[in-house]
Amino acid sequence: MTWMVRSLLLWALLVVGCKHAEPVVATPTPALAACDARQAEISKEADQLAQPWSIEQHLAKNFPDLKVSWLMPEGLYQKYVVQTAAKNFGRCDDTACYLFAAPSAVIQEAVNKSMTGGTHAPDVLGQALGLPAKNFEGPLRMMTLDLNASGTCARLPVDSDPGVWKCQTPEDKDCFKFGGYTSGGVPEVMVINAPVAQTTVTEIP
Amino acid sequence: MSQEQVLYQSPLLYRVLREEDGALSIEVVVGGIAMHTVRVRLTVQEAEAYAREGSAFTDRLAREIMAQPSFGGRAR
């Protein structure tokens, strides 16, 4: 009888032990899994430079719903997106199209805060996003993309990305500092090949 | 009505323009999460380089302007 109890106990321990020994398979964030080999390599190098920070932590902390947004003046949107029938947003070269984007909730909150009497106040919007008011004069368009639903790649921006204007002094605004935050302290990511067809475009009068 | 003529539009987000007075200029989209444009008039040497090299030259020039949007005080 004692032998049977011991055997049962041993069997139970083995089962529990085996369950604990099951390998944990880490599922990469879809936005990272969507990157091609070139962008995955750049992302890996950026993560090494940002240690102990990483794009995985950055997305989890600042982009929990994986929705990103960015702003363009109406005229710029018409000239560079509508009239060219662009397939992707951003600056395109022979490798990809590169676009800076912030958490949608942050941009939306800044826009809401700036709305007075049916139009936005450029100075309020600029202050909320830590950027010069002149960047927000006139009607704007706010673009929103769900990285997860669209299967779009995102990584930390790096110095060599098209459009990077490196800050020269700590006081510089509207320039690039490595680490995933704008010079105004807004979280940002580099979105690769953001598809126009899957982006929601909202008018901001 | 503007008589401005678009000579070249790049997927890198810039345009080469011939302005009303015949001068060449480059309009470049700068900025990150909030984009805007700056415009720089080409010097005679830059216009010659554009005539010689085409978009290879303006690609380089546009990247320089993106990296420093005031472009030494030349941007408007």
Query: How do the domains of chain A map onto residue ranges?
Result: 29-204
pLDDT tier at A152 (50, 70, 90 boundaries)? very high
pLDDT of residue A187: 95
Band of pLDDT at residue A3, cut at 50, 70 and 90: low
Alpha helices by DSSP H, listed for B1-76, are 44-53, 55-67
What's the confidence (pLDDT) of residue A2? 55
Q: Using one digit for the tens of pLDDT, what is the confidence trace for A180-194?
A: 888 888 999 999 999
* CB within 8 Å: B32 and A176: yes
Q: How many whole angstroms separate alpha carbon A192 and alpha carbon B4?
A: 32
What pLDDT is recorded for position A177?
82
Mean per-residue pLDDT, A162-191 = 84
**Closest to A94 (Cα-Cα) out of B10, B68, B67, B21:** B10
The position carrying tokens 């199209």 is A97
Determine the pLDDT at residue A11.
55
Tell me what pLDDT residue A33 has: 87
CB-based contact B32 A71, cutoff 8 Å = no
Q: What is the CA radius of gyration of chain B?
A: 12
Residues A61-77: pLDDT tens digits?
999 999 999 999 999 99
**Alpha-carbon dihedral A72, A178, A151, A67, rounded to 10 degrees:** -60
Mutation for B interface: A62, A69, A80, most B CBs within 10 A = A80
Smallest CA–CA distance, residue A52 to chain B, in Å, is 24
3-state secondary structure of B57: helix
Instruction: Tell me the residue ranges of DSSP E strands in chain A.
Output: 67-73, 88-89, 91-92, 97-103, 115-116, 119-120, 140-146, 153-155, 189-192, 194-195, 200-204
Q: Which of residues 5-44 of B touch A (CB under 8 A)?
A: 9, 11-13, 15, 29-37
Number of domains chain B contains: 1
Task: Report which secondary-structure segment, H or E, holds A94.
Answer: none
| A19-49: pLDDT as tens digits | 444 554 556 677 788 999 999 999 999 999 9
Among chain A, residues having any CB pair with chain B shorter than 8 Å are: 69-73, 76, 79-80, 84, 86, 90-93, 97, 100-102, 107, 129, 131, 134-136, 157, 162-166, 174, 176, 182, 186, 188
pLDDT tens track for A81-137: 999 999 999 999 999 999 999 999 999 999 999 999 899 999 999 999 988 898 899
Task: Report d(CA A158, CA A188) in Å as an integer.
Answer: 11
Residue A5 confidence class, pLDDT cut points 50, 70, 90:
low
pLDDT reported for residue B64? 94
pLDDT of residue A183: 80
In this prediction, residue B76 carries a pLDDT of 86
Interface contact flag, A174 B32, Cβ < 8 Å: yes
Domain containing B19: what range? 5-73
**pTM of the full structure:** 0.86
Residue A184 is predicted with a pLDDT of 82
Task: Report pLDDT for A4.
Answer: 55
pLDDT tens series, chain B, 76 aa: 568 999 999 999 999 999 999 999 999 999 999 999 999 999 999 999 999 999 999 999 999 999 988 888 898 8
